[in-house]
Amino acid sequence: MYKNPAQESESLSSERSESDNKSDNDVKKHPNYQKLLEEAERKAKLEAVPKLAKLGLSVEQIAESLELPLAEVHRVIQNGK
């Protein structure tokens, strides 16, 4: 059966979208998903600390805005990590 190229493209796009959603759901069901997500978020926050310090934010402001313990923000700034 002949399909209009636009219809065929739309059909493939729809199938790909459904497949992507299924893959996302499969990943989210993985037992370590939440732990890995939390670790990635924490790493991103820690990487932001020196950048925010360079902008002139106080240790207290950084800790509050990133929801990190004050001692940890101090440690990151002192160690440069």
Amino acid at 28: K
The per-residue pLDDT for 70 is 97
Q: How far apart are CA 74 and CA 77, in angstroms?
A: 5
Tens of pLDDT along the chain (81 residues) come to: 555 666 666 665 666 666 556 667 777 788 899 999 999 999 999 999 999 999 999 999 999 999 999 999 999 999 975
∠ CA 4-9-15, nearest 5°, is 125
Its pTM surpasses 0.75: no
